[in-house]
């Protein structure tokens, strides 16, 4: 990963609020949210230069909320062969989900502030962790679709800890102390945080523009995958014609199948340097119970209740 100071602020970097996160990584505070340096630079470039098409599909989320699962589900739904019995051209067999939905700030705009994306086949599939206000205006104003996935913040925090720890320990660095990581998360100091503000931005927009933004909860996907897959397919304009099609996509995209695939067990993400297998862990609802104390649970629940008060949103589990 490149955690350098964002070059867009080469002359004013000292004026951008900065905090050290996870022991040694600098986070920059920009328009209410925290970013790693390289991600912020790329996000600003994307906001300025990206031009959306009406048939684009965007997967948006905070970190570790079920995004990897959706990176497999959405391309499979959009692929006409994804719901058939023809397994010879299943992209999931040869590609990690990250490759099927490239990221604006981690991949496309990181190396080149204005990449040529004209060669991408239509419909183009993208993903991003940036908050709603940071999206390119063309994404907000076009007819492209936005799918947002979120999760109980307690499970999100625990998943984030395991993900980052697996990366830093692979480089010989010590893992972050749970209490320190928890304090940072509660204060909203983590990449693309604060978590609650991120969620609320997309939630409020989804209420105003339900035809534009589909708001999903990871817990609902786990509890009723068939119903949620149908809902997602209809939103994307690719409704299932019969139950057999849904069942095929459910099988292709089951977490157990994805976890055990050779392509997801070996190799390293070329953009981030993270082992592909680190993107798949337990995927359980309520996994926080094995990792955080009741006191921590109560504190985070209290923050969540206060932040979401009056919004009509409930992420507790």
Which helix (H) or strand (E) segment holds residue 49: the answer is helix 37-49
- Is residue 61 exposed (0-12), middle (13-18) or buried (19+ Cβ within 10 Å)? buried
The answer to whether residues 263 and 94 touch, using CB atoms and an 8 Å cutoff, is yes
Cis peptide before 194 (omega within 30 of 0): yes
Q: Does the active-site annotation cover 129?
A: yes
The answer to whether residues 214 and 232 touch, using CB atoms and an 8 Å cutoff, is yes
Q: Is 149 left (phi over 0), alpha (psi -120 to 50) or beta?
A: beta
Residue with tokens 């006409």: 80
The backbone torsions φ and ψ at residue 215, rounded to the nearest 5 degrees and listed phi first, read: -100, 120
Report d(CA 120, CA 99) in Å as an integer. Answer: 13
Cis peptide before 123 (omega within 30 of 0): yes
The residues that bridge with 216 in the sheet, in sequence order, are: 149
The residues, any chain, with a CB within 8 Å of residue 59's CB and separated by 6 or more, are 67, 70, 71, 74, 101, 125, 126, 127, 128, 147, 149
Q: Which of 129, 190, 196, 198 is catalytic?
A: 129
| Catalytic positions | 129
């Amino acid at each position: 990963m490149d955690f350098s100071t964002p070059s867009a602020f080469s002359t004013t970097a000292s004026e951008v609020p900065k905090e050290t996160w996870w022991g040694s990584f600098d986070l920059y505070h920009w328009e209410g949210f925290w970013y790693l340096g390289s991600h912020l630079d790329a996000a600003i470039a994307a906001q300025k230069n990206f031009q959306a098409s009406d048939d684009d599909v965007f997967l948006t989320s905070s970190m570790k909320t079920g995004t990897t699962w959706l990176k497999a589900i959405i391309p499979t739904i959009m692929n006409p062969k994804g719901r058939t019995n023809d397994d010879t051209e299943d992209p999931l067999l040869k590609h990690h989900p990250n490759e099927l939905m490239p990221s604006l700030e981690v991949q496309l705009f990181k190396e080149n502030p204005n990449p040529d994306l004209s060669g991408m086949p239509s419909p183009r599939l993208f993903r991003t962790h940036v908050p709603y206000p940071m999206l390119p205006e063309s994404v907000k104003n076009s007819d492209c679709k936005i799918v947002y996935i979120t999760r109980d913040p307690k499970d999100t925090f625990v998943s984030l800890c395991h993900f980052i720890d697996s990366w830093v320990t692979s480089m010989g660095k010590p893992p972050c102390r749970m209490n320190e990581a928890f304090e940072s998360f509660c204060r909203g100091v983590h990449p693309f945080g604060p978590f609650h503000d991120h969620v609320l931005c997309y939630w409020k927009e989804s209420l105003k523009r339900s035809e534009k933004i589909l708001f999903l909860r990871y817990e609902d996907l786990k509890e009723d995958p068939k119903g949620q897959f149908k809902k997602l397919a209809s939103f994307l304009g690719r409704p299932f014609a019969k139950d057999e099609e849904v069942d095929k996509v459910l099988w292709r995209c089951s977490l157990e199948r994805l976890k055990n695939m050779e392509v997801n067990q070996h190799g390293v993400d070329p953009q981030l340097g993270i082992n592909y297998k680190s993107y798949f862990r337990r995927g359980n609802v309520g996994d926080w119970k094995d990792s955080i104390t009741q006191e921590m649970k109560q504190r985070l629940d209290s923050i969540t209740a206060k932040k979401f008060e009056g919004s009509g949103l409930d992420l507790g589990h």
